[in-house]
Chain A
Amino acid sequence: MSSTFTLDAKIPAGPIEGKWNSWLDAHRLVGPRNRASHTVIVVGTGLAGASAAASLAAQGYRVKSFCFQDSARRAHSIAAQGGINAAKDYANEGDSIRRLFVDTIRGGDFRAREANVWRLAELSANIVDQAVAQGVPFNREYGGQLATRSFGGVLVQRTFYSRGQTGQQLLLGAYSALQHQVASGNAKIYNRHEMLDVVTVDGEARGIIARNLVTGELERHAADAVVLASGGYTNVYYLSTNAMNSNVTAAWRAHKRGALMANPCYTQIHPTCIPQSGEYQSKLTLMSESLRNDGRVWVPRRGRDSRPPAQIPEAERYYFLEERYPAFGNLVPRDVASRAAKIVCDEGLGVGGTGRGVYLDFRDAIDTVGRATVQGKYGNLFDMYHRITAEDPYETPMMIYPAPHYAMGGLWVDYELQTTIDGLFAVGEANFSDHGANRLGASAMMQCLADGYFIVPHTVTNHIARRGGIVDDRHEAFERTEQEVQDRIARLINVNGTTAPQVIHRELGNVMLDKCGMSRTAEGLTEAIERIHQIRDEFWNDVRVDGRADELNQSLELAGRVADFIELAEVMCLDALKREESAGGHFREEHQTPDGEALRDDDRFASVTAWEYGGEGGMPVAHEEPLEFENVKLATRSYK
């Protein structure tokens, strides 16, 4: 399949500080009285989707908002814990937009687009202001001022938080803004609806096909523009910190209609999660990274040391992060911390039943600042840990191990957050935009809300002003797409095999974690692709979907999602194979420094790889978007 387009990121000319303003000054507008005649579909009610839907509705567009949960408030974003970054410099440390920008570019290992990241840093302060105006109860200092703390990978305190439930509070802020718009008649929420396809007419997105998850009916929804805010794809690993139902289907269906998938191999494995304990396990629980502010990470110097941790003397403890990275210590970025934990466990120093765990110890923090202070900061996290493991972290160190957490890769978007399908936008974790090869803590929520509140409302307006126009949902394209969705559902049900979809999902996850997880090799990836083909065949020959299509049917929902994960997995491996370097979360064992650090190859790979769908049974086609670094000097990351 030959490619028909070149990737144009549409980055405005001029110095980086002025790019966004000059874009705003020049974009086309839609008059307030005309807006009500335009419909915008927003798929997803997480931070990105809820903020986009609320903002577009407040501008006066008719907004149709979709989520598969029973309520918009339950989107996966609700689980985010630690906080959100903003360059406000309340702590008077000399923080600035430029510093946040530089940290994000460096943290992403020089694989993100400068112009987008600058804009993100520029908008960060407005997000906190917006949230406070909505009534988000951020933590406060004694004088009533907003409190901040520091997060992995940075040396300033720019993270705002609501105890350990920042995502919940920010999401409820956006959700309540959206409910306000529902009350005012501008927005309508379609909960328990799953988007199963994008409808395109002459290459432009004109609507979606969604399945009503209660009745099983397929519905056609037409619009002037479609915004995907459907979250990340980390559940391709089966076990991850994501909510169980998070999936790639919305993005993948769009991909098959012409939206390119960028850097799918960039996934983040989060260092501080509760280790897996059994085969039946359905998800991995994250312990907020903020714990690394006060907790010290270590393993016994001697392998399989059977003494209880408290009895292991100081000299026999290996504080491997502090020793390897004296400048950042326990606060190195996630990819660095995760790999370091993997290495010590590979060396046989790991703790816990499976040997895949390291200690996160609060003994010293409790000794210096006292139990009450530690409790004030982390009480709910300690309780959660206690509840899950039945161990008390005030008394004995926590045990942690890295777990799949976040997808930096996603739908390719230009500066306007538009995919390669005209009129189809992608925001939040669903796009690939700002985090390069590794995301820094507390910056996902920042990106979701910058996209949703402050960017996409303007870029959608620009699109509608230039190209808007609705196509009747009786148009032949709706007819045809609905039929294709129907056929696919029938195909899933008709396999009528013997294996539950979750069993096949688990198999896929094991392969991906092993071969395309924290470290990767050409050999392993090639093997993985073969295994994925076998899993795909097994799926289409032996999956069993119980029940019918015209009713609430969770197996059918899952089967559709697993089928898409299988296809995504292959492209992730191809992408990881193609990128013959190590960058951020993508670590190729063939490419490392003598002391085991990631080794980039800027001459060959300072670029984004965006994959074009190759058609049924065909090979995907890779396109490159070169990355220019004009405002930060390309340099090796060092946290030593």
Chain B
Amino acid sequence: MNFTLQIWRQDRPGDSGRYETIEAHEIDAEASFLEMLDQVNERLIAQGSRAVAFDSDCREGICGACSLTIDGLPHGPQQVTTCQTYMRDFRDGQTIRVEPFRNNAFPVMRDLVTDRGALDRIIQSGGYISTSTGPQPEPNAMPVSPEVQTTAMDAAICIGCGACVAACPNGAAMLFTGAKVTHLNSLPQGQAERGDRVRSMVHQMDAEGFGGCTNFGECSLACPQEISIDVIGTLNREYRKAVRDEKKASKKMVAQ
């Protein structure tokens, strides 16, 4: 198959970038999108040109590194990661626009490579259970029903790719944050820090410059892990409750 690529090129953070047209000839339909780019790069290097930089690692949809916007869609036309997008999903001769994930909170480092450190900082602000290494209780002493496990797991499978942010017209990180809050807050182990967790994660989300949710629902449609938009409902509920509880608690402190 043959394709014409219009690829975003940018030399360093902060530079003004440009689109470059690159031909991708004789590509196997069974090649993945990234394997197509590998071949393009191999040829560019042999010609003495500069290869296109992009992130990827596992190439099987689990690490969350790959992050291309293909024809305006984060990860491309199917609801899978970029690395699981295959050229058989495109038309022979098609012109394809290839850009990095677009969001102010994800600055471009070079070409198609962005900095998604803001997502790590949201986790740092409370996306964990505060326990350190050492003797722990016997797990079966704290049963978790398969239903709760399923709710937690359905959210915990988020790969942190940021496609939800890139897809959102407001650039919100609610699906990502909601997934982590749903995972931890639904488990018995996560109860002690339930309120603090959601409060600080939401504050961090705002501090990073992510937008707010106005229910477009694009995030969930772009999410390769099919994280349900319900996690945003959970996030909002948990947040409202946490803010109420905090107010009550501070009143009690004053009263004492």
- Residue A307 is within 8 A (CB to CB) of chain B in the complex: no
A283 with B59, Cβ < 8 A, contacts A137-B152, A176-B128, A552-B109 known? yes
Residues of B within 8 A of A134 (CB): 128-129, 131, 189
Chain B residue, CB-CB nearest to A551: B12
- Segment touching B, from A30-38, A123-131, A294-302, A620-628: A123-131
A133 with B60, Cβ < 8 A, contacts A140-B143, A554-B53 known? no
Residues of B within 8 A of A142 (CB): 145-146
- A135 CB to closest chain B CB (Å) equals 5
Q: Does the CB pair B28–A280 fall under 8 Å?
A: yes
User: Which residue in B38, B135, B142 is a CB contact (below 8 Å) of A126?
Assistant: B135
Residues of A within 8 A of B116 (CB): 70-71
Q: How many residues of A contact B (CB 8 A)?
A: 78
Bound-complex Cα distance A459 to B60 (A): 36
Chain A residue, CB-CB nearest to B85: A387
User: Which residue in A132, A177, A245, A454 is a CB contact (below 8 Å) of B139?
Assistant: A132
Q: Does the CB pair A162–B153 fall under 8 Å?
A: yes
Residues of A within 8 A of B65 (CB): 69-70, 74
Residues of A within 8 A of B44 (CB): 546
- Residue B214 is within 8 A (CB to CB) of chain A in the complex: no
Q: Does the CB pair B49–A546 fall under 8 Å?
A: yes
Q: Does the CB pair B38–A503 fall under 8 Å?
A: no
Q: Does the CB pair A135–B139 fall under 8 Å?
A: no
- A243 CB to closest chain B CB (Å) equals 4
Residues of A within 8 A of B153 (CB): 137, 162-163, 169
Bound-complex Cα distance A373 to B147 (A): 16
Q: Does the CB pair B143–A143 fall under 8 Å?
A: yes
Q: Does the CB pair A282–B45 fall under 8 Å?
A: no
User: Which residue in B11, B125, B140, B157 is a CB contact (below 8 Å) of A90?
Assistant: B140
Q: Does the CB pair B117–A137 fall under 8 Å?
A: no
- B42 CB to closest chain A CB (Å) equals 5
Bound-complex Cα distance A78 to B161 (A): 13
Residues of B within 8 A of A162 (CB): 153, 156
Q: Encode contact with A along B177-219: 1 for CB under 8 Å, 0 otherwise.
A: 0000001100101100000000000000000000000000000
User: Which residue in B32, B60, B119, B144 is a CB contact (below 8 Å) of A71?
Assistant: B119
User: Which residue in B35, B48, B149, B187 is a CB contact (below 8 Å) of A280?
Assistant: B35
User: Which residue in A130, A137, A183 is a CB contact (below 8 Å) of B124?
Assistant: A183
- Residue A58 is within 8 A (CB to CB) of chain B in the complex: yes
A132 with B189, Cβ < 8 A, contacts A142-B146, A277-B30, A547-B50 known? yes
- B195 CB to closest chain A CB (Å) equals 16
Residues of B within 8 A of A73 (CB): 64, 120, 123, 160
- A92 CB to closest chain B CB (Å) equals 13
- B117 CB to closest chain A CB (Å) equals 7
Q: Which of A54, A128, A168 has the most CB atoms of chain B within a 10 A radius of its CB?
A: A168
- Segment touching B, from A149-157, A314-322, A338-346, A494-502: A494-502
- Residue B228 is within 8 A (CB to CB) of chain A in the complex: no
Given contacts A71-B160, A283-B59, 4 further A-B contacts (CB under 8 A): A129-B136, A138-B149, A176-B123, A453-B133
Chain B residue, CB-CB nearest to A145: B140
- Residue B56 is within 8 A (CB to CB) of chain A in the complex: yes
Residues of B within 8 A of A180 (CB): 124, 128, 130
Residues of B within 8 A of A177 (CB): 128, 131-133
Bound-complex Cα distance A245 to B136 (A): 35
Q: Does the CB pair A546–B51 fall under 8 Å?
A: yes
Main secondary structure on B side of the interface with A: loop
CB contact list, A181-214 vs B, under 8 A: 182-183, 189, 191, 214
- In the complex, 10 of the A-B residue pairs with CB atoms within 8 angstroms, ordered by the A residue number, are A71-B119, A74-B63, A133-B137, A137-B144, A140-B146, A144-B144, A144-B146, A177-B132, A384-B60, A457-B133
Chain A residue, CB-CB nearest to B128: A176
Q: Encode contact with B along A384-400: 1 for CB under 8 Å, 0 otherwise.
A: 10011010000000000
Q: Does the CB pair B50–A546 fall under 8 Å?
A: yes
Give the interface of B toward A (CB within 8 A).
11-13, 27-28, 30-32, 34-36, 38-39, 41-42, 44-46, 48-51, 53, 55-65, 80, 84, 88, 109-110, 113, 115-117, 119-120, 123-133, 135-140, 142-146, 149, 152-153, 156-157, 159-160, 183-184, 187, 189-190
Bound-complex Cα distance A70 to B115 (A): 7
Residues of B within 8 A of A189 (CB): 120
Residues of A within 8 A of B48 (CB): 544, 546
A165 with B53, Cβ < 8 A, contacts A79-B58, A129-B136, A135-B189 known? no
Residues of A within 8 A of B42 (CB): 500, 502-503
Residues of A within 8 A of B63 (CB): 69, 74, 76, 78-79, 243
Residues of B within 8 A of A330 (CB): none
Q: Does the CB pair B129–A176 fall under 8 Å?
A: yes
- B67 CB to closest chain A CB (Å) equals 9
Chain A residue, CB-CB nearest to B138: A129
Q: Does the CB pair B131–A281 fall under 8 Å?
A: no
The 3 closest A-B pairs by CB, nearest first: A144-B143, A176-B128, A58-B132
Residues of B within 8 A of A454 (CB): 133
Bound-complex Cα distance A144 to B147 (A): 9
- A83 CB to closest chain B CB (Å) equals 14
- A546 CB to closest chain B CB (Å) equals 5
Q: Does the CB pair B131–A133 fall under 8 Å?
A: yes
A546 with B31, Cβ < 8 A, contacts A71-B116, A129-B138, A133-B131 known? no
Chain A residue, CB-CB nearest to B42: A500
Residues of A within 8 A of B53 (CB): 552-554
Residues of B within 8 A of A457 (CB): 133
Q: Which of A140, A387, A502 has the most CB atoms of chain B within a 10 A radius of its CB?
A: A140
Chain A residue, CB-CB nearest to B38: A282
Residues of B within 8 A of A172 (CB): 156
- A247 CB to closest chain B CB (Å) equals 11
- B56 CB to closest chain A CB (Å) equals 6
Residues of A within 8 A of B129 (CB): 133-135, 176
Q: Does the CB pair A179–B51 fall under 8 Å?
A: no
- B53 CB to closest chain A CB (Å) equals 5
- B79 CB to closest chain A CB (Å) equals 11
- Residue A7 is within 8 A (CB to CB) of chain B in the complex: no
